[in-house]
Amino acid sequence: MTMKNQHNMSRRYFLQLMGLGASGLIVPQYTQAGTDSLITKSIPSSNEQIPVIGLGSSRTFNVGNDQLALDNVTEVMRHFFKAGGQLIDSSPMYGSSQSAIGYALKKLVKTKNVFSADKVWIGDSEQGSEQMQTSREYWNLDSFDLMQVHNLVAWQAHLKILFRMKQQGKIRYVGITTSHGRRHDELAGIMKTQSLDFVQFSYNILDREAEQILLPLAKQRGIAVIINRPFQRGDLIHALKNKPLPEWSNTIGCKTWPQFLLKFVASHPAVTCVIPATSQVAHVKENMQACYSPLPDQAMRRRMIDYVEKII
C-alpha cells in the first residue's frame, strides 16, 4: 500500500473541537458539503480526513475457509467501499478475520482505498514484530495505516516498537485499545503520557462512562478516537427493535435504530470513527447511511438519550 503523506498537526484543532454551530450541527470537527455528502472527521495528528463510519471485524469475519462465507465478507466490504467507507479494523484475536479481509481486498482490488487498522496482541513483545508481519501478510498489504496495542497487552514494550516503526515509515499511526471499562483509568494514564495518534474503546448511548474522562482527554491531547461496540454487541438493537423511532429522528437523517445509535456516537466532538461489525450486506448498507446527512448537535444528543432511556 502506498504510504500517504502526513501533515503537521494544527493546534487550532484544540480550540475548535467543542464549537457548536447555530444551525444545530457540530461544524468545526467534521466535513460535510451537503445532506447527500459523506461526513468525515479529522485525525488530529495529521489533519487527514476519514469517514465517521468504519467497519469492525470481530466475530463477523471469523469464517475460516468457508468459501461462501469468504465471498459474503467480500460483498460486505464491496458495499462498504461503495458507500464511501475506508477504515477497517481487525486483530489477531479475531480468528480468521484478517485473512478474510485479505481475501476480499485481493478480489476487490481496493488496497488503495482502505484505511487499514490492526493490532498487536501478544504478551511476549519480542514476538510482536513477527505477529504484525503475519497480520500484514494476511491483509496482503505493504504496510498498515494504523497499528494498535490490543487491550493494553504488554503496552510499554509494544509502544516503543510501534513508535520506532512509525519513525521508520513502516506504519503511519500508533494507537492503543481496550474494550473493558474497568481499564479506563489505566488507559487514561497512558493517554496522558504517550504521544498516541489513536485510542479505541467502547461507547454507546447507554454506556457513557467514556464521556467522563476518556473522551475529554482525547480532545485535550489531540488523539483520534475509534469507538467499538456501539450496539453493545447487538443487545441495544435487540432491545429497541420493537420500539418506535421518534418522529423527529428524520431531522438527523435516521430511518432505523442502527442509524440512530451510530449518529449519536459519531456526533460526539471527540469521536473520530465508529466501527460497527456485521456479516450482512443489508446491515452494512444501513450502517453506512449514518455517514450521511447532519450529525446531531448537543441539544439533540440529549434528546436522543432521554428518549432511549425512557423506552428501554
Q: Does 148 reside within a domain?
A: yes
The predicted pLDDT at position 29 comes to: 54
Q: Does 200 reside within a domain?
A: yes
Write down the pTM of the prediction: 0.89
Mean pLDDT split into 10-residue runs, the chain, 312 residues: 39 35 40 70 98 97 98 98 97 97 93 92 91 97 97 96 97 93 90 98 96 97 97 94 96 97 98 98 98 94 98 94
The predicted pLDDT at position 24 comes to: 37
Q: Does 229 reside within a domain?
A: yes
Measure the CA–CA gap between 43 and 102, rounded to whole angstroms: 25
Report the run of H or E that residue 235 belongs to, with start and end.
helix 235-240
Q: Do 177 and 210 form a contact (C-beta atoms < 8 A)?
A: no
Domain extent at residue 163:
47-234+270-292
How many structural domains is the chain composed of?
1
Q: Does 249 reside within a domain?
A: no
Q: Does 213 reside within a domain?
A: yes
The predicted pLDDT at position 78 comes to: 97
For 210, the 3-state DSSP assignment is helix
Closest CA to 270 of 203, 193, 192: 203
CATH assignment of the domain containing 286: 3.20.20.100
Measure the CA–CA gap between 289 and 24, rounded to whole angstroms: 19
Q: Does 134 reside within a domain?
A: yes
The predicted pLDDT at position 30 comes to: 60
Q: Does 93 reside within a domain?
A: yes
Q: Does 116 reside within a domain?
A: yes
CA atoms within 13 A on the CB side of 161: 21
Closest CA to 227 of 192, 185, 186, 277: 277
